[in-house]
Structure 1
C-alpha cells in the first residue's frame, strides 16, 4: 500500500522542523566549527524525538555541510565548506547540457558577474606579493602552453590569487565553487581546439595580469569579461548541434 501524499508531506514538514531545531540548538549554544554536539541520547531527550527521526535529520544536515559525524567520536559542527552548493550547481549545470544549456549559461553568467564586479576592489588592494604569485602562475601556464599542454591547476590558482587581496575567505570559497562548476561544465562539452587552444588561454591570463599590474580596472574588467567568450561559444555550438539532431 502506497503512502498518501498528505502523509509524505507531513513527514517532510516534521523533518524540516527537526533540522531547524538542531540548527537552532547549535546557534543558541554558540557552538563553533569543530565543537561537539550533545550525544544522540541527549538530543533525543532534549528534542523529544526518536532515534530514527534524529538520524534522518542528522543525515540531512550532513548533506548540507552543517554537521560532521565521526564514527566512534560523535557529532560535531562541520568546518566551513560549500560542498553541498558545489554538488548541486555542478549537477544542475551538467543536467542542463542534456537539454538547452540554460542553467549552464546562467552559471557562467554568475561567475563572470562576480569576477568582473570584484576585480576593481581586488586591484585596489593588490600587493607586490600577489603580483609575484600571479606572475609565477602565468609563467607556468606559458610553459605548459608551449608544449600544447593544458594547465587546469594553474588556471584555478590564478583566479584564486587574483581575489585574495580582498581578504574574504567566504568569497574565496564561493569563487572556488563557481570555478569548479565552470570546469565541470567545460569538461562535459566536446571542446573545440580552435576556441580552447592553450597558447591563447595563457595569453589571456598574461593580459589580465598586465592590466592588474598597471592598476587599469576598466581594462581588467573588459579582459575578464572576454575570458568567458570561449565557453559561451562552446555552449552555443552545442545548442546548434542539439537543435540540428532534434530536427
Structure 2
C-alpha cells in the first residue's frame, strides 16, 4: 500500500515537472490520460490517481468530453499544490510570495503569544536544544536552513494547538528553497541564532509583548531580504 502511494506521489511530481518544462499556459489543454500513461510508463490507475490528486489541489481541471486543462493561475491552486510547486522548483510569482509571507507573519505572531502563555518546560528544552544544534551546525560550516524550520515549528507546537501547526506547515514547506537560499550567507545564520536565542528567552519568561515584538522584527528582516531580491525595496537601513 505504501509503495503504491509513493508511486502516485512520484507521478504527481513528474507530471508537474513535465507541465512546467513544456511551458503549458493556464487554461491550456494537457495530454490525455492515455498519452500520459504511455509517457510515464505507469499503470492507468496510477495516472488516474495522480490526476485526481492534482485536480483536488486545483492544479488541473478535468472537463467531461473535453480533456484535462491547467487551471488559470496560482490564485486557483491549493496550499498542497503550492508545496508541490516548491518541490519541483516551479517558481512562484511575486504576489504569491508576498501573500505567503504576510500570512506566515500573522500566524507566527499569534502563535508566539499563545506559546508564551501555554509553553511547558519540555517546550523550552526543545527550543534550547535547537539553539545548541544550530550553534553546532554553524561551527561546522553548514547551513542552518533545516534548524530554522525546526525552531519555528517548535514555537508553533509550544502554542499547544495542533490545528495551528497543521495550517502553518505548508507555508514552511513551500518556502524551503527560499530558506536554503537565504542561509547561504553565513552571517545570516549567526544573526538568526541570536534572534532565536532572544525569542526563546522571551517565551521562557512568558513575556508576550517582547516575544511578539522580537518575532515581528525577526520575520520582517526576512521580508526585507525578499523585497530587495525582487527589486521592490532597499535593504533595511539604506532607504
The question of a shared fold, defined as TM-score above 0.5 by the shorter chain, is answered with yes
Q: Does 1:114 align with 2:111?
A: no
Who is 1:132 aligned against?
Answer: 125
Who is 1:142 aligned against?
Answer: 135
Segment of structure 1 superposing worse, 56-65 or 216-225: 56-65
CA distance in 2 between counterparts of 1:138 and 1:234 reads: 23
CA distance in 1 between counterparts of 2:97 and 2:89 reads: 8
Contact 1:93–1:107 (CA<8 Å) still a contact in 2?
no
Once the 2 structures are TM-superposed, how far is the Cα of residue 105 of structure 1 from its aligned partner? Answer: 1.8
Root-mean-square deviation (CA, aligned residues, Å) is 3.4
CA distance in 2 between counterparts of 1:228 and 1:149 reads: 22
* Structure 1 unpaired stretches of 5+: 1-8, 10-51, 66-81, 242-247
Return the index of the structure with the highest Cα Rg.
1
Q: 1:95 to 1:83 in 2, by over 3 A?
A: closer
TM-score by length of 2: 0.59
Who is 1:36 aligned against?
Answer: none
CA distance in 1 between counterparts of 2:87 and 2:213 reads: 27
Once the 2 structures are TM-superposed, how far is the Cα of residue 56 of structure 1 from its aligned partner? Answer: 8.3
CA distance in 2 between counterparts of 1:93 and 1:112 reads: 23
TM-score by length of 1: 0.57
Q: Deviations over 1:75-130 (max 9, x none)?
A: xxxxxxx743522577898331xxxx232122111111100022111221100011
State the number of aligned residues: 169
Contact 1:111–1:178 (CA<8 Å) still a contact in 2?
yes
- Which of 77, 85, 104 matches 2:97? 104
Q: Deviations over 1:146-194 (max 9, x none)?
A: 34432222212211111213443332232221112223234467x7838
Once the 2 structures are TM-superposed, how far is the Cα of residue 214 of structure 1 from its aligned partner? Answer: 0.7
Specify the SS of the correspondent of 1:95: coil
Specify the SS of the correspondent of 1:227: helix
CA distance in 1 between counterparts of 2:216 and 2:138 reads: 22
Once the 2 structures are TM-superposed, how far is the Cα of residue 55 of structure 1 from its aligned partner? Answer: 9.1
Who is 1:193 aligned against?
Answer: 185
- Which of 176, 181, 185 matches 1:183? 176
Contact 2:82–2:174 (CA<8 Å) still a contact in 1?
no
- Which of 209, 217, 223 matches 2:214? 223
- Which of 83, 86, 93 matches 1:86? 83
- Which of 192, 197, 202 matches 2:193? 202
Specify the SS of the correspondent of 1:228: helix
* Structure 2 unpaired stretches of 5+: 1-26, 28-43, 58-78, 233-239
Contact 1:148–1:198 (CA<8 Å) still a contact in 2?
no
